[in-house]
C-alpha cells in the first residue's frame, strides 16, 4: 500500500508539472494496476477519460460545421462528374512501404496478433493507386473522403491532428496534356471561393522545372531530392537559412546555391513562363523545357476558366512527397486585412496536389503506368477556421432538423402524443416529443427555444374533441387550429425553407 | 538461388491447395525478402496486391448502393430528431477493457510505438459511453455511423467482415419508462420497411425477465451469464443441443434446464405477457415482475405506433453483449416465399440493441449512471442483400450525377469547350467533358450512353456564330438549339428530376 501511495504521488507530481500526457498516462496505468492487485477498487477501475493523443471527438455542433464544409466539397466533386470509392482504414504494411520517404516513421502500425502485418493509411493517394492496380483500372475520376493517420506532433488549435480527414479528387488515365491538371486547379478555386475563407492564392510549379533548374544550377543528380526538401521550407524560413542548410548541411557549392536563390525568388504568371522559356540556361534543359511548355498550356486553360487572378507560378514551391512527377500546387489562405493582426495565425496550406504518373506502376506486377493527377483538401484546417468564425459570430447553429415538437397542454395525454407523432413520422415529418408522461407546457416550449424547433403541435382535450391540433409558431408565438388531416401539409408548408 | 526457387515452389503449392491466405501471404513475404537479399528485383518489389483479410474496397457501384442504404437510415434518424457525433477510430486500450466479455480477444490492438496503448473501436456504444462520461453529458439523442473492427472469422458473402459499418441511434437520459425504448423499435420498423428488404420480425425480450426466469428455474446466480450465452444460441441450434450444453458443459441440473426449456419456447404478444404476469413462479420474482410490467407498457406504446404486427416477445432472445440491463431486441429478416429455397440463405440479424443503464457509470469517476437505450443497424448485411438484388435485376445504377456532357462536333474546339464547361460549373451545373483535344462526336455520345449522362451540349462553328448551343437529349436523340444565355436554365429544367 505504501508503494501505491508513492505511485499516486508520482502521478500527482507529473500532473502538477504539466508533464507529457503520454508519460502521465503510463504512470496512471501503473497506479491502476497496483491498485487492482491490491483489490482496492475491485470491479470499479478508474479510467483515464480521454481520447488518444492528437485525436478529438466531434460533438453535434462541430459535426454541423463539418457537414457544411463537406457538403461544399462534395457538391463540387460531383459537379465535376466524380464517382466515389472507399478503401479499408488499414492496408498491408508493405503496401505503404517505400512511398513516403522520411515520413514513413509517422505511419501507425497494428500489433502483430497473428496473420497479416497491417498499418493505418497515411493518405488516400497510395490506397487509390493500390486500388487501380489491383482492379486493373486505367481510367477513372473519383473522390474519396476519409480519415488518415499520422504519428506527427499534433498542433490541435491550428488544425493539426493525428487522425484527420482528407478530401481527395483524382483523375487517372492517359489524356491530352494539362486538361485534367487544369480541372484540379479549377476545383480548388471553386471550393475555396464557395467556403468563403477569405483571400487565397494557389501556387503552382512543376517537378520537371525544379529538376531542370537544379541541373542548370549545378546541383549533382544525387542531391536533387534533398535540395528539393530544402526549397520546400521556403514558405516558413527565409532564403538565408535555407541557403546555409544547402551549403552547410547538404554540401552544395555556394555558387550553385546562389543560382538557385535567384530562381526561387521568381513568381508570376504567363509573362514569367515566357521569360523562362527564353532563359539561356533553362531553355537548354530538356526537362525544364517540357515543364515550362506544359505550364504555359496550363495557364492558357486557366485563363479560359477565368481563374488566373488567384494562381501564382512560383518557383519556390516544391511539395514534400516523393511521388510527384509533374505539376504540383498548393493553396494558401492570405491574412485577412480586417482581422486583428495577433489573431491572424497563418493556417498554412489548405489544399495541395499534383501529378504522380509513376505510383500506380509501382503496384502493377508488370510496372504498367497509369498517369494520375489529383488534389487533396485539408478539411481540418478549414474546419478550424469555420469553427473559430462561428464562435466569434452570434449565429446559433442548429444541430437537428426537427420541424415540430409534439406537445400537450394537459396531463394524461401521453397516448395521444404517441399516436400523433407516429402519424407524423410515417408521413416523413421530422418530429420530437419529450420522453415524459406529463411534461409541463412551459418545458416543452423551452425545449423548442433551446433547440430551434420552429413549430409545436399541441394536443389537448378540446382539440381532440374538435378533431384539430393547435399549431404554434415558436418565433411569433402565433397559434392556429389546424384540422388533423391537414396537419402534415401545414407543417410541410410552414417549414419548406428547412 | 536454389533456396529462392524452393520458396517459390512452396508458395505455388500453397496457392494451388487454396491454403489460408494469411499463410500464403507470409510465405510470399519470405520469398520477397529472399529475392530482395539476392538483389534480383532491386527497387522493383513485387507486392501482394490485396486488401487486408476480412476487408474490401467499395467501388463506385457499391458506393452508390451503400449511399442509398445510408440515406434511408440517416433520414430516419433525423426524422426522430437525432444529433450526430463522431469519435476517433481508436481508443485508449483500457477504455475497451472489460466491456465485451469473451469477445475481447477479437479487438485489434495497435503496435506499441511509444506513447499510449491504443485499440481500434469494437463497436460505437462503448465510445459513446466514454464520450458521455468525459463530457458529463446526461441527456442526448444522437446517431453515429462509422466503421468498427473485429478480428473475427470473416464470411464475406454473407456480409460478415472484419471492418464494417455500424449505424447507431441512442437515447441517453433519465426519462419515464419505455418511451425511448419504444421509439428505438419504431425506428427499426421504419428503416426495415423503408429499405424494402422483405418480411421481418423484431424479437423483444428483457434481461430482467431472463434473469428472473433463470432464478425461478433454479439456476445459481453465478451461472446466469453463462446460461444466458447458451440461450443466445437458440436461433442457430435446436433446444436439444443447447440443453445438453447447459447440463453437460455448464453443469446445470437437468430439472433446471427442462424448466428453462419450457419458458424459452414461448413467444407471442400482449397475451403472453399477461399470462406470464399470472405465472405462479415468475410473478413471485421481483426482477421478472419489473421486466414483465415494463414489457406490457412497451407493447401498449407499440400498439399506439401500430407496429405490433412485426414484434414478437420472445423468451429465447438473449443477446451476446454483457452491458445490457433491460429491454433487448433483434430484427431478423424472414425467408422470402417467392425466392428459390436454395438461395434463401438467412442473413440473420440485421439490427439489434437494448437498454444499458450501467455502461456510462463504468467511466464516470464517481460512478454516476446515465441510463441509455439504443439500436444498431447492421448495414453490411443489408448491403449484401441490396447488392445481390441489384445484380439479379436489370437496373443500371448511375455512379455520377452529371447532367450534361460538353462536346464538340468539329476539331479545334477545345478552348470553346473549356469556356462553356467553366460557365456551367460556375452556374452549379454538373458537367463533364472528355480530356482530349479533338474527341470524335461518336465517342462523346458513347460516353453518355455508358455513364447515363442525359444531355449533351454540342459546340460547333455554326452554333458559335449564331450564339447558340446544340442541346441533345441522349434518350430520344432529339436536338434543339438553345441560346447560350438560356442554356443553364434549359439544362436545369430538363434534368429537374435528377
- Measured between alpha carbons, how far is A92 from A109 in angstroms, rounded to an integer? 10
Q: Residue A16 pLDDT > 80, yes or no?
A: no
- Chain B from 397 to 426: CB within 8 A of any A CB: 399-402, 414-415, 418-419, 422, 425-426
Query: Do B81 and A422 count as a contact with CB atoms less than 8 A apart?
Result: no
Q: Residue A116 pLDDT > 70, yes or no?
A: yes
Strand-pairing partners, residue B17, are none
pLDDT confidence bin for A343, thresholds 50/70/90: very low
CA distance B122 to chain A (A): 14
Q: Residue A346 pLDDT > 70, yes or no?
A: no
- Measured between alpha carbons, how far is A490 from B343 in angstroms, rounded to an integer? 47
pLDDT for A349: 87
Query: Do A78 and B430 count as a contact with CB atoms less than 8 A apart?
Result: yes
**Phi/psi at A173 (5° precision):** 145, 160
Query: Do A116 and B163 count as a contact with CB atoms less than 8 A apart?
Result: no
Question: What's the average model confidence in pLDDT over A49-60?
Answer: 95
ipTM of the complex: 0.86
Count of other CB atoms within 10 angstroms of residue B17 = 10
Question: What's the average model confidence in pLDDT over B389-402?
Answer: 89
- Measured between alpha carbons, how far is A231 from A210 in angstroms, rounded to an integer? 10
Q: Residue A498 pLDDT > 50, yes or no?
A: no
Nearest CA in chain A to B23: A115
Give the class (CATH, top level) of B404-496: alpha beta
- Chain B from 351 to 370: CB within 8 A of any A CB: 362-363, 365, 367
Give the class (CATH, top level) of A60-392: alpha beta
Of B22, B362, B400, the CB nearest to A83: B400
- Domain segments of chain B: what residues? 1-38, 60-392, 404-496
Query: Do A52 and B176 count as a contact with CB atoms less than 8 A apart?
Result: no
pLDDT for B41: 46
User: Does B131 lie at the interface with A, CB-CB under 8 angstroms?
Assistant: yes
For residues B60 and A85, the answer to whether their CB atoms sit within 8 Å is yes
What's the pTM value of the predicted model, to 2 decimals?
A: 0.87
Three-state DSSP class for B41? coil
Residues A410/A416/A422/A427 CA torsion (nearest 10 deg)? -80
For residues A342 and A351, the answer to whether their CB atoms sit within 8 Å is no
Q: Measured at the alpha carbon of residue B90, what is the angle toward residues B89 and B96, in degrees to the nearest 5?
A: 125
pLDDT confidence bin for B338, thresholds 50/70/90: very low
Share of residues in chain A with pLDDT > 90 (%): 74
SS (H, E, C) B230-264: HHHHHHCCCHHHHHHHHHHHCCCCHHHHHHHHHHH
Q: Residue A93 pLDDT > 90, yes or no?
A: yes
Listed residue (A284, A272, A373) closest to A325, CA to CA: A373
pLDDT for B369: 94
Count of other CB atoms within 10 angstroms of residue B386 = 19
pLDDT for B43: 46
Q: Which cell numbers hold the place of B399? A: 455512379
Listed residue (B427, B445, B431, B441) closest to B486, CA to CA: B427
- Measured between alpha carbons, how far is A263 from A283 in angstroms, rounded to an integer? 14
Q: Which residues of A touch B133 (CB under 8 A)?
A: 49
Q: Which residues of B touch A415 (CB under 8 A)?
A: 300, 304
Q: Residue B38 pLDDT > 80, yes or no?
A: no
pLDDT confidence bin for A38, thresholds 50/70/90: low
Q: Residue B26 pLDDT > 90, yes or no?
A: no
Query: Do B182 and A435 count as a contact with CB atoms less than 8 A apart?
Result: no
CA distance A128 to chain B (A): 10
**Which single residue is written with the C-alpha cell 483500372?**
A137
Sign (positive or negative) of CA dihedral A215, A182, A175, A368: positive
Of A301, A426, A432, the CB nearest to B418: A301
Q: Which cell numbers hold the place of B312? A: 414478437
User: Does A489 lie at the interface with B, CB-CB under 8 angstroms?
Assistant: no
Question: What's the average model confidence in pLDDT over B117-146?
Answer: 97
Q: For chain A, give the mean pLDDT.
A: 91
B65-111 pLDDT per residue, tens? 999 999 999 999 999 999 999 999 999 999 998 888 778 899 999 99
- Measured between alpha carbons, how far is B196 from A266 in angstroms, rounded to an integer? 62
What count of residues does chain A have? Answer: 498
CA distance A142 to chain B (A): 8
What lies within 8 Å, CB to CB, of A197 at 6+ separation is: A333, A350, A382, A385
Q: Which cell numbers hold the place of A341? A: 493582426
Residues in binding site of B for L-histidine: 123-125, 150, 166, 170, 319, 323-324
pLDDT confidence bin for A235, thresholds 50/70/90: confident
Q: Residue B155 pLDDT > 90, yes or no?
A: no
- Measured between alpha carbons, how far is A166 from A156 in angstroms, rounded to an integer? 16
Kindly give the interhelix angle for A21-38 and A2-16, rounded to the nearest 10 degrees: 160
pLDDT for B69: 94
Distance of CA A70 to the CA centre of its chain: 9
pLDDT confidence bin for B344, thresholds 50/70/90: very low
Nearest CA in chain B to A178: B435
Query: Do B435 and A180 count as a contact with CB atoms less than 8 A apart?
Result: yes
Amino acid at each position: 500500500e505504501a508503494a501505491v501511495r508513492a505511485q499516486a504521488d508520482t502521478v500527482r507530481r507529473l500532473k502538477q508539472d504539466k508533464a507529457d500526457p503520454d508519460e502521465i498516462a503510463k504512470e496512471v496505468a501503473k497506479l491502476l494496476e497496483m491498485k487492482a492487485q491490491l483489490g482496492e477498487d475491485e470491479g470499479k477501475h478508474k479510467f483515464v477519460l480521454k481520447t488518444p493523443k492528437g485525436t478529438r471527438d466531434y460533438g453535434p455542433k462541430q459535426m454541423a460545421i463539418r457537414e457544411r464544409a463537406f457538403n461544399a466539397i462534395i457538391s463540387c466533386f460531383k459537379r465535376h462528374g466524380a464517382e466515389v470509392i472507399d478503401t479499408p482504414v488499414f492496408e498491408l504494411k508493405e503496401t505503404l512501404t517505400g512511398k513516403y520517404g522520411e515520413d514513413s516513421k509517422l505511419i501507425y502500425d497494428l500489433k502483430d496478433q497473428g496473420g497479416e502485418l497491417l498499418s493505418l493509411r497515411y493518405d488516400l493517394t497510395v490506397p487509390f493507386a493500390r486500388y487501380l492496380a489491383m482492379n486493373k483500372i486505367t481510367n477513372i475520376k473519383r473522390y474519396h473522403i476519409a480519415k488518415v493517420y499520422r504519428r506527427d506532433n499534433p498542433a490541435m488549435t491550428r488544425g493539426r491532428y493525428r487522425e484527420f480527414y482528407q478530401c481527395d479528387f483524382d483523375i487517372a488515365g492517359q489524356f491530352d496534356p494539362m486538361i485534367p491538371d487544369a480541372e484540379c486547379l479549377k476545383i480548388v478555386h471553386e471550393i475555396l471561393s464557395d467556403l468563403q475563407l477569405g483571400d487565397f492564392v494557389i501556387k503552382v510549379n512543376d517537378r520537371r522545372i525544379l529538376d531542370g533548374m537544379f541541373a542548370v544550377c549545378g546541383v549533382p543528380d544525387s542531391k536533387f531530392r534533398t535540395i528539393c526538401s530544402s526549397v520546400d521550407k521556403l514558405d516558413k524560413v527565409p532564403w538565408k537559412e535555407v541557403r546555409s542548410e544547402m551549403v552547410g548541411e547538404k554540401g552544395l557549392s555556394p555558387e550553385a546555391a546562389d543560382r538557385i536563390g535567384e530562381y526561387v525568388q521568381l513568381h508570376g504568371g504567363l509573362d514569367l513562363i515566357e521569360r523562362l522559356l527564353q532563359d539561356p540556361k533553362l531553355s537548354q534543359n530538356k526537362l525544364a523545357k517540357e515543364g515550362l511548355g506544359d505550364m504555359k498550356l496550363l495557364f492558357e486553360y486557366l485563363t479560359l476558366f477565368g481563374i488566373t487572378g488567384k494562381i501564382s507560378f512560383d518557383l519556390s514551391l516544391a511539395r514534400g512527397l516523393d511521388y510527384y512527377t509533374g505539376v504540383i500546387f498548393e493553396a494558401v489562405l492570405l491574412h485577412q486585412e480586417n482581422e486583428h493582426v495577433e489573431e491572424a495565425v497563418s493556417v498554412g496550406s489548405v489544399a495541395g496536389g499534383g501529378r504522380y504518373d509513376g505510383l500506380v506502376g509501382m503496384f502493377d506486377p508488370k510496372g504498367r503506368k497509369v498517369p494520375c493527377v489529383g488534389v487533396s483538401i485539408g478539411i481540418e484546417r478549414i474546419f478550424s477556421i469555420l469553427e473559430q468564425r462561428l464562435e466569434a459570430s452570434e449565429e446559433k447553429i442548429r444541430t437537428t432538423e426537427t420541424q415540430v415538437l409534439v406537445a400537450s397542454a394537459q396531463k394524461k395525454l401521453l397516448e395521444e402524443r404517441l399516436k400523433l407523432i407516429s402519424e407524423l413520422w410515417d408521413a416523413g415529418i421530422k418530429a420530437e416529443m419529450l420522453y415524459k408522461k406529463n411534461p409541463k407546457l412551459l418545458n416543452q416550449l423551452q425545449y423548442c427555444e433551446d433547440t430551434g424547433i420552429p413549430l409545436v403541435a399541441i394536443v389537448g382535450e378540446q382539440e381532440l374533441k374538435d378533431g384539430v391540433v393547435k399549431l404554434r409558431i415558436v418565433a411569433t408565438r402565433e397559434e392556429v387550429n389546424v384540422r388533423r388531416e391537414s396537419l402534415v401539409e401545414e407543417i410541410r408548408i410552414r417549414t419548406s425553407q428547412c
